[in-house]
Structures are given as structure tokens and as C-alpha cells.
Chain A
Amino acid sequence: MKRRNDTLLLVLTGLSAVLVLAALYLALVGAPEADLKSETGRYAQRIIYFHIATAWVGFLAFFVTFVGGVGYLRTQARKWDILALASAEIGTVFMLGVLVSGSIWAKPAWGVWWVWDERLTISLVQFLVYVGYLMLRSSVSDPTRRARFGAVYGIVAFISVPINFIAIRLWRTQHPLMFGAEGGGLSDDMMFAFFFCLATFTVWYATLMWHRIRLEQLRDDVEDLKQRVMS
């Protein structure tokens, strides 16, 4: 069973690598150029393929943390706590990617690296909230309390995801709206590259989750053995 899982994980990792390379090609070369006057703007527009896919993974990861938190509070099973922790860590790293890539896009598009508009501020706060989640977990030594605190925090912190999502619809922010009532910001030709990147990053997230969950299971094995040695 373990060997079969190892092979599956290896295949998934390889598939992720191939998909990421294909997505990179589509985002940088395959997708048509945006209808913008400045050359810098046209190049910068290609950032959004990975920027939005990264944000999608961040939101998905925080949703899984929420699910893990609910699962843990209902069952007290360690597997839910592992799921929540692994997903929060990956989501936080991806949110950092969103903030940095968004800031790099903003410079040629808006002329500034950062503006304190609703969308950007909420994204930063969301990132900090999940950094707080990881800090909280590392500061509690008792595993049961750590899992319980983490579960409650992960559930409450998830509120930031819908707020972040609707921010550009609720307020008139500087951040562009990709899909709205007035149509999207992408042409039909760009849609294929866009959704390919979204699917690729979802597979990439699943791969990272599998590796991260294995890491936590390994940590549990070490702790169990330590207990045996001590007793």
C-alpha cells in the first residue's frame, strides 16, 4: 500500500511539473497579447495568469483549513488537524506570492508598488491572519489544545476569504474585476490559458498537500517513537 502511494505521489509530482511548464508557456508565449498601448503594460498583463491562479490556490487552501477545523472539532481526529495545518501553511505561502506578484504588476499598471485600497489591504490582512494561525500553533505545546485552538482560529479566519472575494464587487477599488456583470477583463483567446493555469495550480496544490501531510505523519511517527524510548 505504501509503495503504491509512493508511486502515485511520484506520478502526481511529475504531472505537476509538466503542467506547470505548459502553463508557463501558455502564460508567457501562447496567450495573445493584451490590447494595451504600452509595451510594458502588455508584458505586465501576462502576470495575471499566475497571479490569479496563485490567489485561487490561497483561497482553496484556506477553505480546506476551514473544513479541517470543522472536522477536528466534530471528531477530534488528528487527520483533520493535519489537513488544516498543511493547507494553512501552503495557503499562506501562496498568499505571499499573490501580494508580491500583484505589487509587481501594480508598478507598470498604476505607477505605484502599493495602494491602500480595500482589495489590497484585505489581502494583506488575510495573509497576516494566517501567519498568526501558524504562530499560534507553534506557541502551544500541548497537541490537543494546539489542535483545538487551531481549528477555532482556522474557522474564524476563513471569514477573510469571502470578504476578500467580494471586496472588488462591494467597493469601487483600483483592483481590476476579472469576472463581473459588465463582462470579464479577458478575451476568449485568453480564457484557455487562464483556466489552464487555474487547473494546473489546483493539481500543484494537491501535490504539495500530499507531501506536506506526509511530513506531518512522519513527525507523528517520530513523536511516537520518542515516547516509546522515554517510557
Chain B
Amino acid sequence: MGYLAAAYAVLWAISFGLVFSIVWRQRKLQQELQVLRQVVEDETISHE
């Protein structure tokens, strides 16, 4: 029973690790994108 639990726990941990990594990177990029869009917008306004 212990081996079965360990195997499934490891598979779940690896799967969640992958999902968490994708979500974390996505959030980081979205934040970066937001900042860059703000910079572009500010530059456009200052040129006008």
C-alpha cells in the first residue's frame, strides 16, 4: 500500500509542479506585459 501511495503521490507532485510552473511563468509575463504596455502608452502620450 505504501509503494502505491508513494507512486501516485510522486506522479501528482510532478504534475502539479508542471502546472504550477506554467501558471507562475504566465503570471510573471502578464505583469511584465502590463508594465511594458504602460510604458508604451506613457511614451505615446508624451509624444503627443
Contacts and interface: CB of A to CB of B under 8 A. Distances in A.
- The main secondary structure of chain B at its interface with chain A is helix
Contacts of A208: 18-19, 22
B31 to A, nearest CB: 10
A104 B15 contact: no
A215 B7 contact: no
A94 B12 CA distance: 11
B10 A222 contact: no
Contact of B3 (A47, A212, A228): A47
Given A47-B3, A47-B4, A51-B7, A225 B22 contact: no
Interface of A: 24, 28, 39-40, 43-44, 46-47, 50-51, 54, 90, 93-94, 96-97, 100-101, 104-105, 107-108, 204, 208, 211-212, 214-215, 218-219, 221-222, 225-226, 228-229
A215 B22 contact: yes
Interface in B1-48: 1, 3-4, 6-8, 10-11, 14-15, 17-19, 22, 25-26, 29-30, 32-33, 36-37, 39-40, 43
Interface of B: 1, 3-4, 6-8, 10-11, 14-15, 17-19, 22, 25-26, 29-30, 32-33, 36-37, 39-40, 43
B41 to A, nearest CB: 11
A104 B6 contact: yes
A108 B3 contact: yes
A82 B33 CA distance: 19
